[in-house]
Amino acid sequence: MSNRQAVLDMTDIMSKFVSLVGKKLPDDVTEKLKQLSDSEVVPMAKMIYESMFLNQKMALEFNRPSCQDTGVIQFFARVGTKFPLIDDLEEILRNSVVEATKNAPLRHNAVETFDEKNTGTNTGKKAPWIDYELVPNSDKIEIDVYMAGGGCSLPGTAKVLMPSAGYEEIVRYVCEVMTTYGLNACPPLLVGVGIGTSVETAAIMSKKALMRRIGTHNTNELAADLERMLEDGINRIGLGPQGLTGSASVMGVHIENAARHPSTIGVAVNVGCWSHRRGTIVVNSDNTYELLTHKGVEL
Ligand code: SF4
């Protein structure tokens, strides 16, 4: 197969995957929403969960996005250093968004800053956002696709704390975000917390925390304990589905962390909404692929 044909084929695969992510929630999110619905005791909250499931069913039946805000597309790619299309990757991912915007269809969400002009393609300067990590000695690529909606991006925040503030201040900071802006993001939320040295490292980790499968925990036991404690505490606020009160507020709390400077605690919070449109695909060197988040689905 020529390189050009391989580029076109991968663009087609990725555009179909982006479209799918807009219509069908990943398996772990669907399962968690079912769990929360089953354990919900507030009648209004139970009704809202039912309408969410109906919404999902109709999105598939009518082949339409499951939420009108299909967000700005973000890709988090773990790229094998021997992946054959590494040079063409940016072109492939950008064009896949242009195609998905026409075919899914996706709402036109990319507005050039300063020019204040909607490009109409969901592409623009640094849009889609692409984050690369290199994987040595691999000829595959694993890509998370995320639709960053307006409501779920709004609560995002980052700050550098004084070292004396300690882990207690991290808890206070996260809870303050939940009780002020959490409602903007259509609960139940997935909460991503990044902890490191500075705002940008904490911020990227807080977003990558949202790419983790629900139900997984940080490999550090102390961090995993903090995830559980935060989940418990935020649930007790009782935001409920769509913020109209209920037994739970969150689908989970995920913390990602890095070693930090002893004089700072960088902390960031990012949230995903109940319609957490993320998907993970592995593309092999011969363009065969596997969907890790949407089992049994054909593109
Ligand atoms: S927060 Fe999520 S569900 Fe609510 S409008 Fe935004 S994208 Fe849609």
Tell me how far the alpha carbon of residue 98 lies from the centroid of ligand 1, in angstroms. Answer: 21
Tell me how far the alpha carbon of residue 54 lies from the centroid of ligand 1, in angstroms. Answer: 16
Q: Are 109 and 122 in contact (CB under 8 A)?
A: yes
Structural domain that includes position 285: 3-24+66-149+277-291
Whether residues 88 and 7 share a domain: the answer is yes
Domain assignment present for residue 124? The answer is: yes
Find out whether the beta carbon of 69 lies less than 6 Å from any atom of ligand 1. yes
Phi, psi for 294 (deg, rounded to 5): -130, 75
Whether residues 12 and 122 share a domain: the answer is yes
Find out whether the beta carbon of 271 lies less than 6 Å from any atom of ligand 1. no
Whether residues 281 and 217 share a domain: the answer is no
Task: Give the per-residue pLDDT at 19.
Answer: 98
Please, which residues have CB within 8 angstroms of residue 224's CB and are 6 or more apart in sequence? 217, 218
Query: How far apart, in whole angstroms, are the C-alpha atoms of residue 24 and residue 296?
Result: 12
- Dihedral sign for Cα 251, 201, 79, 277, please: positive
Task: Give the per-residue pLDDT at 31.
Answer: 98
**Above 90 in pLDDT, residue 183?**
no
Q: Are 184 and 269 in contact (CB under 8 A)?
A: no
Find out whether the beta carbon of 177 lies less than 6 Å from any atom of ligand 1. no
Determine which residue's CA is closest to atom 7 belonging to ligand 1. 149
| pLDDT band at residue 148 under the 50/70/90 scheme | very high
Task: Name the domain count of the chain.
Answer: 2
Whether residues 109 and 192 share a domain: the answer is no
Domain assignment present for residue 55? The answer is: no
Task: Give the per-residue pLDDT at 92.
Answer: 98
Q: Which of 289, 110, 280 is nearest to 212 (CA)?
A: 280
Give the residue-averaged pLDDT of 121-147: 98
Tell me how far the alpha carbon of residue 273 lies from the centroid of ligand 1, in angstroms. Answer: 6
Whether residues 258 and 112 share a domain: the answer is no
| pLDDT band at residue 1 under the 50/70/90 scheme | confident
Whether residues 112 and 256 share a domain: the answer is no
Tell me how far the alpha carbon of residue 69 lies from the centroid of ligand 1, in angstroms. Answer: 6
Domain assignment present for residue 35? The answer is: no
| pLDDT band at residue 50 under the 50/70/90 scheme | very high
| Span 60-77, pLDDT tens digits | 999 999 999 999 999 999
> Which residues are registered as beta bridge partners of 160?
266
Task: Give the per-residue pLDDT at 158.
Answer: 98
| pLDDT band at residue 15 under the 50/70/90 scheme | very high
Q: Which residue type is seen at 64?
A: R
Tell me how far the alpha carbon of residue 217 lies from the centroid of ligand 1, in angstroms. Answer: 25
Average pLDDT, the chain: 97
Whether residues 234 and 268 share a domain: the answer is yes
Cα–Cα distances (Å) from 141 to 27, 94, 131, in that order, read 21, 16, 13
Q: Are 122 and 93 in contact (CB under 8 A)?
A: no
Domain assignment present for residue 8? The answer is: yes
Q: What percent of the chain lies above the pLDDT cut of 70?
A: 100
Whether residues 95 and 76 share a domain: the answer is yes
Whether residues 242 and 175 share a domain: the answer is yes
Which of 56, 69, 73 is the pocket-test mutation for ligand 1 (most atoms within 8 Å of CB)?
69
**Above 90 in pLDDT, residue 246?**
yes
Tell me how far the alpha carbon of residue 8 lies from the centroid of ligand 1, in angstroms. Answer: 32
Whether residues 92 and 162 share a domain: the answer is no
**Above 90 in pLDDT, residue 2?**
no
Residue with tokens 């039946």: 61
Whether residues 179 and 123 share a domain: the answer is no
Find out whether the beta carbon of 151 lies less than 6 Å from any atom of ligand 1. yes
Determine which residue's CA is closest to atom 6 belonging to ligand 1. 151
Domain assignment present for residue 53? The answer is: no
Task: Give the per-residue pLDDT at 248.
Answer: 95
**Residue 99: which CATH number?**
3.30.1330
Whether residues 244 and 119 share a domain: the answer is no
Residue with tokens 């354990």: 39
Residue with tokens 């790229």: 79
